[in-house]
Amino acid sequence: MRALLILLFWVSFVTEANEVTVKSPNKQLSLTFTDTNNIAQYRIDFEGKPVLGEGKLGFTFAEAAPMYRDFTVKEVSRNSVDNTWAQPWGEQTLIRDHHNELLVQFVSETDSQNTFLVRARVFDDGVGFRYEVPSQDKRVITRELTEFNFVDSHKATAYWIPAHGRERYEYLYRTTPLQEVYKAHTPFTVKYDNGVHVAIHEAALVDYAGMSLDKQELGRFSAALAPRHDGSLVHKNGPFTTPWRTVTIGDKATDLVNSYIALNLNEPNKLGDVSWIEPGKYVGIWWGMHIDDFTWGSGDKHGATTENTLRYMDFAAEHGFDGVLVEGWNIGWDGDWIANSELFSFTQSYPDFDLEKVTQYGKEKGVKLIGHHETSGGITNYEAQMEEGFALYQKVGVSQIKTGYVAHGQNLKVRDDNNLMRYEFTDSQRVVNHFIHNVKTAAKYQLSINTHESVKDTGLRRTYPNWISRESARGQEYNSGWAAPNPPEHIPMLAFTRMLAGPMDFTPGIFNFDYIRKNDGGVEWGKSNVMRPQTTIAKQLAQYVVLYSPIQMATDLPKNYEAKPDAFQFIKDVPTDWSESIALQGEVGDFIVMARKARAHKGYSADDWFVGAITDENAIDLTIPLDFLDKDKKYEAQIYVDGKDAHWETNPYALTIEHKKVTTTDTLSLHLAASGGAAVRFKALP
Ligand code: NOJ
Ligand code: CA
C-alpha cells in the first residue's frame, strides 16, 4: 500500500511537468520549455533528435528572491514572422528573417510575484531566446543560470578559446573533445561525429555582461557573465531584457557560416540616414611599427610624420585606396604607453605631424585620413575627451576611426565617482556600455568605428551600422614577430568560430615574409617557431574574400606591393561590400571556400563574383562547381593560386596567375599548397 502511494505520488509528480514547444518554419528544429522537477528548463531537438538536453533557466540576485527552484511554465503568446530586410552594407544585401516566436512565463509556486518571461525565436538554422524580467526593483545579478547541455557530449569535438584571460579574445583556437572544455568564449563551435554542427553565441549584447561558457559537468555548460570590478555581474534598475542566447545548428560546417540569426535578433538601424558610412580599403602607417621599422612614439623612427603620411597618400591615390590609417600621431605614446593610458591626448598631435596639412592633401588626392584613438584601456580618460576628439576629426574630414584598448582583459581602467581607479573586464557591463556609447557618440559626428581589443561582436552593426568592424581575435599583427605567429590552421579556424560573430579587421595582405624578427621569447608558440606569417602569398590574397569586413587593409609596406604588382592587382580589384555571400565548402580548422558577389560601390561591378579558398597545414585539391555564377553570363576567371611547389615554410611566394573563360556550368579545380590558398575574380564579360 505504502509503495503504491509512493508510486502514485511519483507518477503525478512526473506527469505534472508542463511543456510548451515551438518549431522552426521547416519543423526540423524545436525548442521546448519545461518545468521538469519544478525547475525552469529548456531543450532543443534537431531533425528529430535532442541536441541540447534539458538545461536550466533563471537567475540568482544579491538581494531579491532567486529565480531558481519551484517555477512552473505557461504559454503567453505566439507569433510567426517572414520578413526580408536590407543591410546598408554587408556580406549580403537582403537578409530573410523567417521564424516562429513563443513567449512563455515562469512563475514561482511560492510567490506569484516572482516571475520571468522567456522569448524564443526559432529559425530553420537556429534558435535565439532571451529573458524579459518585469521586476520594478533594483537588481544585482549574481548568477545567470542558463545552461547549454550537450547531448552525447562524448561524440563531439569543440573549437574554442579560453574566456576571462588576460589576452581577451586573442588566443589560438583549441581543438579538443567537448568534454575537455573548461571555460570558453563564444562563438563556441561544436562538431558531432554524425556531422551536426552547433555554435553557441549571443545577440544584441547591450547593457549587460558578455556571456562565456563554464563547464559544470560533462557536456553541461552554464553562462558565465564577465564580472564587474566589484565582483557582481550585472546591475539593473526596473524591468530588463537580456541579450539573446543563440544556438545555430546545421548538418555541416558551412551551415553555421551561412546563417544570419544573430543579425535577425538585433534591432533595426537606429541611426536613420547612414549613407555617410563608407566601406572601403585602406593602407597605413602601421605594419612598419609592428615589424620595428617605425615607432609609435616620437624620435628618429617616428612613423606618423607629415612626410610619411603624404607618401602613403600618394601611394593610396595611385592604387585606388580610400584611406590611410596613421597610428602614433597623437601625444601619449612616449614611455610605457600601455601603462600610461591617462597620458593619451585625442586632440594634440606630435609636432612632426600636421593634421591640417595631411587631411588637406588627402582631399586633393581623394584619399581620407583614417583616425586612430588608442586608449590602452583608459576608459575614463577617453570618455572625457571623446567628443573633442571626434569633433576635431570630423572638422578635418576624417570619416572612420580605429580605436584600441590595449590592456590586459581584466584591466580596463574606469574611475568611479570618488575618482578611485576600478579595473573592468573587456566584456563587463560597464565596458560593454562604453563601446556602445563610443559608437553612438561617433554617429553624431558621422564617424564610423573599427574597434580593436573590442568586446566580441553580437550583431550590433545592424542597429549601429557605423560600428563598421572590429578585431576581437588574433589578427595579422601576431605574425609580425612580437609574438608566436598564427599557425596555418588559424584562418580556417576563424572562419567557423570568430567570423560567425561578424566582420573582422584582420588586416590581410602581407607580401614580404623575409623580415623575420628575433624571437622575443616567453610567448605561447604556434605549431612552428618561424616568426612570420605561416602562409603562402596566395593565401594572403584569399583572406580578402574569406574574412569578411566592409573595410579591409592592404597591410604591407608600399614598397612590398610595388615589388609584386601582379599579385597586388587582386587586392586592387577586390571589393569590400557584397550583395551575396555563400560558404561553399569547408571543415572547421581545415579549409574553407567562400563565394561572394560584389555590390555596386566605388566603381566595382555588381556582376562580378569572387572566390577565396584557404587551407591549413595540409595541401588540398578542391573541385568547385561554378553553379553559383549567374546563369546568363560569361566570365573571365582571374585565378591567383599557389604555384608549383608552393609551401608556406619553404616556398611561400610561388604564385600562378591564370585567366580563363568560364560559365556557370564549369567546374574549377584548384590545388592549394600547405597553408596555401586561391583568390579568384570572376569578371563578368560584356
Ligand atoms: C592593438 C591593435 O590591434 C593594433 O592594430 C595597434 O597597432 C595597436 N593596438 C596600437 O594601437
Ligand atoms: Ca590587437
Where exactly are the structural domains of the chain? 18-265, 280-575
- Rounded Cα distance between 168 and 454, Å, is 9
- Rounded Cα distance between 330 and 623, Å, is 50
C-alpha cell at 110: 511560492
DSSP 330: B
CB-based contacts of 357, cutoff 8 Å, min separation 6: 306
C-alpha cell at 665: 556550368
- Rounded Cα distance between 237 and 674, Å, is 55
- Rounded Cα distance between 330 and 382, Å, is 13
280-575 belongs to CATH 3.20.20.70: yes
Give distance in angstroms: CA of 290 to centre of ligand 1. Answer: 9
pLDDT at 518: 44
pLDDT at 520: 47
pLDDT digits (tens, 9 = 90+) for 635-648: 999 999 999 999 99
- Rounded Cα distance between 348 and 355, Å, is 9
Which amino acid, 468? Answer: I
C-alpha cell at 219: 557536456
Q: What is the largest CA-CA distance in the chain?
A: 96
Fold classification of 18-265 (topology level)? Beta-galactosidase; Chain A, domain 5 (2.70.98)
pLDDT at 522: 36
Burial of 3 per CB tally in 10 Å (0-12, 13-18, 19+): exposed
**Nearest Cα to Cα of residue 368 among 316, 415, 318, 412:** 316
- Answer yes or no: is the C-beta of 471 below 6 A from any ligand 1 atom: yes
Residues forming beta bridges with residue 580, ordered by sequence position: 597
Taking ligand 2, which is a single-atom ion, which protein residues have CB atoms under 5 Å away? 452
Which amino acid, 380? Answer: T
Which ligand places an atom closest to the C-alpha of 406?
A: 1
Where the chain has pLDDT below 50, the residues are 11-13, 518-528
- Rounded Cα distance between 563 and 340, Å, is 39
- Rounded Cα distance between 233 and 229, Å, is 9
- Rounded Cα distance between 508 and 238, Å, is 45
pLDDT at 481: 81
**Nearest Cα to Cα of residue 21 among 47, 35, 42:** 42
Positive/negative CA dihedral, 250, 18, 221, 128: positive
- Rounded Cα distance between 19 and 35, Å, is 7
DSSP 409-464: TT-EEEE-TTS-EEEE-TTSHHHHHHHHHHHHHHHHTT-EEEETTPPPP-STTTT-
C-alpha cell at 157: 569535438
Question: Of all residues in the chain, what percent carry a pLDDT higher than 70?
Answer: 95
- Answer yes or no: is the C-beta of 457 below 6 A from any ligand 1 atom: no
From 325, 344, 374, the mutation candidate for ligand 1 (largest count of ligand atoms within 8 A of CB) is: 374
Are residues 519 and 482 in contact, defined by beta-carbon separation less than 8 angstroms?
A: no
Residues forming beta bridges with residue 604, ordered by sequence position: none
Are residues 252 and 442 in contact, defined by beta-carbon separation less than 8 angstroms?
A: no
- Rounded Cα distance between 201 and 213, Å, is 10
Give distance in angstroms: CA of 402 to centre of ligand 1. Answer: 9
DSSP 616: -
- Ligand 1 atom closest to 374 (CA): 11
pLDDT digits (tens, 9 = 90+) for 307-345: 999 999 999 999 999 999 999 999 999 999 999 999 999
From residue 252, give the alpha-carbon distance in Å to each of 121, 618, 642.
Answer: 22, 20, 27
Are residues 514 and 479 in contact, defined by beta-carbon separation less than 8 angstroms?
A: no
From 167, 294, 327, 471, the mutation candidate for ligand 1 (largest count of ligand atoms within 8 A of CB) is: 327
- Answer yes or no: is the C-beta of 424 below 6 A from any ligand 1 atom: no
- Answer yes or no: is the C-beta of 556 below 6 A from any ligand 1 atom: no
Q: Taking the chain, what is the end-to-end CA distance rounded to the nearest angstrom?
A: 88
- Rounded Cα distance between 98 and 79, Å, is 11
Give distance in angstroms: CA of 376 to centre of ligand 1. Answer: 9
**Nearest Cα to Cα of residue 590 among 656, 485, 497:** 497
pTM to 2 decimals?
0.96
pLDDT at 519: 47
Give distance in angstroms: CA of 598 to centre of ligand 2. Answer: 29
pLDDT at 4: 55
SS3 sequence, 111-125?
CCCCEEEEEEEEECC
pLDDT at 448: 98
Residue 391 phi, psi (nearest 5): -60, -40
Residues forming beta bridges with residue 325, ordered by sequence position: 284, 370
Positive/negative CA dihedral, 222, 223, 228, 234: negative
CA-nearest residue for atom 11, ligand 1, is 374
Are residues 683 and 636 in contact, defined by beta-carbon separation less than 8 angstroms?
A: yes
C-alpha cell at 218: 560533462
CB-based contacts of 38, cutoff 8 Å, min separation 6: 69, 70, 71, 72, 109
- Rounded Cα distance between 291 and 530, Å, is 15
Give ∠ CA 214-215-217 in degrees, rounded to 5.
150
pLDDT at 528: 47
SS3 (DSSP) at 654: coil
- Ligand 1 atom closest to 452 (CA): 3
Residues forming beta bridges with residue 160, ordered by sequence position: 174
**Nearest Cα to Cα of residue 584 among 266, 126, 292, 252:** 252
**Nearest Cα to Cα of residue 550 among 584, 582, 583, 502:** 502
Are residues 472 and 443 in contact, defined by beta-carbon separation less than 8 angstroms?
A: no
